[in-house]
């Protein structure tokens, strides 16, 4: 049964649409800073530039959760030049790399989510700091 599950996940990730670019280093140093950034961004509409994007099939959602994700660079405000991952739960996306969009932050789920590009959403934001990964927030780009 485990082998079938692993093969299922591999086939899902191989069928996703991805555009990749080089990732920048994380500038947030604590999980508390990530939480503060999320709260600040919920009340703002900032421009972001898409650096990398990956879309998953929304039909995959059901007993497990999957999300499309985009690596973006904030272009305005307090978090200017901060690089973050923006994920959209159970939605396909078609953002253009180097495209400029308005960021709208949404509530993050309180459960793990599978993301294409071998990413996983961590409910515990301390894991992003330990792994030296770019923080992931949920939202959409308009």
Beta strands in the chain (DSSP E): 17-19, 46-55, 66-74, 83-89, 100-106, 113-115, 119-121, 136-141
Residue pLDDT, tens place only, 13-70: 444 434 333 344 446 678 788 888 889 999 888 999 999 999 888 887 777 788 899 9
| Cα separation, 79 vs 97, whole angstroms | 20
pLDDT at 26: 46
Q: Where is pLDDT greater, at 114 or 131?
A: 114
């Amino acid at each position: 049964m485990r082998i079938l599950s692993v093969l299922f996940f591999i086939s899902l990730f191989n069928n996703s649409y991805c555009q990749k670019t080089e990732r920048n280093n994380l500038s947030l140093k604590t999980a508390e800073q990530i939480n503060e950034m999320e709260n600040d961004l919920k009340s703002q509409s900032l421009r972001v530039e898409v650096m990398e994007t990956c879309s998953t099939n929304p039909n995959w959602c059901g007993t497990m959760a999957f999300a499309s994700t985009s690596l973006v660079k904030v272009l305005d405000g307090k978090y200017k030049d901060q690089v973050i991952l923006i994920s959209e739960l159970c939605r396909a996306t078609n953002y253009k790399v180097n495209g400029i969009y308005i960021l709208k932050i949404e509530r993050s789920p309180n459960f793990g989510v599978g993301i294409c590009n071998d990413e996983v959403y961590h409910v515990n934001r301390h894991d992003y700091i330990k792994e030296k990964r770019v923080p992931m927030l949920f939202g959409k780009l308009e």
